[in-house]
Structure 1
Amino acid sequence: MNTKLHAICDSQGRPIDLFLTAGPVSDYIGGRALVSRLPNVKWLLGDRGYDADWFREALQDKKIHPCIPGRKQRKTPVRYDKRRYKRRNQIEIVFGRLKDWRRVATRYDRCPQTLFSAIALAATVTFRL
């Protein structure tokens, strides 16, 4: 079983919302599921996998500035704030904290609901710390 975890985190590196998809599914699917649940923020830092015109338009409709680098296949490069993008390491720290939990890191659970329950428990504890 291969899965992908999509997360919305606050500026302090705490997980706010989580979404689990199948591994071969594109990041667009996770972005589409989470775009309606985004909090009222000024900026969104995202990985190259979330670079899509419809995603950028959805963020701009919510008055959110996307800080997402363009994919390598783009014909016209997308401008983004490189200094602000360096703060994306806080998101990686969140995933590192979740992987401190052995059950999450090794994915003992084959059932996606059980795995997501373990991830939610780990996220709750890391949010409180």
Structure 2
Amino acid sequence: MSLTDAQWARIEPLLPDRAPRRGGRWRDHRQVIDAIAFKYRTGTPWMDLPEHFGSWKGAHNRLRKWAADGTWEKVFTALLAQADAEGDLDWIVAVDSTIVRAHQHAAGARQKGPRLVSRPTMPSDVPAAG
């Protein structure tokens, strides 16, 4: 499943220029995003990407570069803002004990009273290493 033209029209203006500072032009951003989406949707290893996506190394490197320079965060934030403005977002939050831990006081920790002093430790009869 590739990006639709409508999806691409939303994403394309948010991406960096295809001519990097050094070297030649980058491969088509749309093809790279399709490759990245395919990889994560199917769980396939990078090296097993179908050839029609081009070099797996190029897609992987672009994913890492865009993560490091904040491109993905910029795209995600802009798409969320657009979807929210158009009323396309429904926030559903599910919280359970697998992701939220209780505070120590809710988990049976001591609440009142003085703390018992632990027994003093006696020096060992073993001679110190020298």
TM-score, shorter chain, exceeding 0.5: no
Q: Which has the higher strand share?
A: 1
Using structure 2 for the length normalisation, give the TM-score: 0.28
Using structure 1 for the length normalisation, give the TM-score: 0.28
